[in-house]
Structure 1
Amino acid sequence: MYETMDELMASVQQRLYRIRDLADDMSAARGKEAAQDGSITVEVDGNGALLNLEFSSAISRLSPAEFEKKLVATANAAARSAFEQRAEVVTAFNEEVAE
Structure 2
Amino acid sequence: MSAEMDALVAQATEKLEALEAALFGLKQVRGRFTSDDGLVSVEVDSDGALIDLALAESVSGHTPADVGQLIIWACQQAATDAGRQRSEVVATLNSAFVPPAAGSVAGRAE
Q: Bin the TM-score by the shorter chain.
A: 0.7 to 0.9
- Which 4+ stretches in 1 moved above 6 angstroms? none
User: RMSD across aligned C-alpha pairs, in angstroms?
Assistant: 1.7
| CA contact 1:22–1:93 (8 Å) conserved in 2 | yes
Question: What is the CA–CA distance in structure 2 between the aligned matches of 1:21 and 1:92, rounded to whole Å?
Answer: 9
Deviations 1:6-56 (A, max 9, x none): 332222112101111011112211111011211110001111112211111
Gaps of 5+ in 2: 101-110
Pairwise mapping of residues 9-24 of structure 1 onto structure 2 (< 5 A)?
9-24=9-24
In the alignment, structure 1 residue 95 sits paired with structure 2 residue 103: no
Which has the larger share of helix?
1
Where does residue 72 of structure 2 map in the other structure?
72
- Paired residue for 2:29? 29
* Greater radius of gyration (CA): 2
Could you tell me which runs of 5 or more consecutive residues in structure 1 were left unpaired when the two chains were aligned.
Answer: none
What TM-score does the superposition give when structure 2 sets the normalisation length? 0.79
| Separation in 2, partners of 1:28, 1:81 | 13
> Could you tell me whether the CA contact under 8 Å between 1:44 and 1:51 is conserved in 2?
yes
Shift of 1:95: 3.1
Matching residue of 1:5: 5
What residue is the counterpart of 2:47 in the other structure? 47
1:40 and 1:61 mapped to 2: Cα distance? 13
Q: Report deviation, 1:4.
A: 3.7
Q: How much identity, in percent, do the aligned residues show?
A: 30
TM-score, normalised to structure 1's length? 0.87
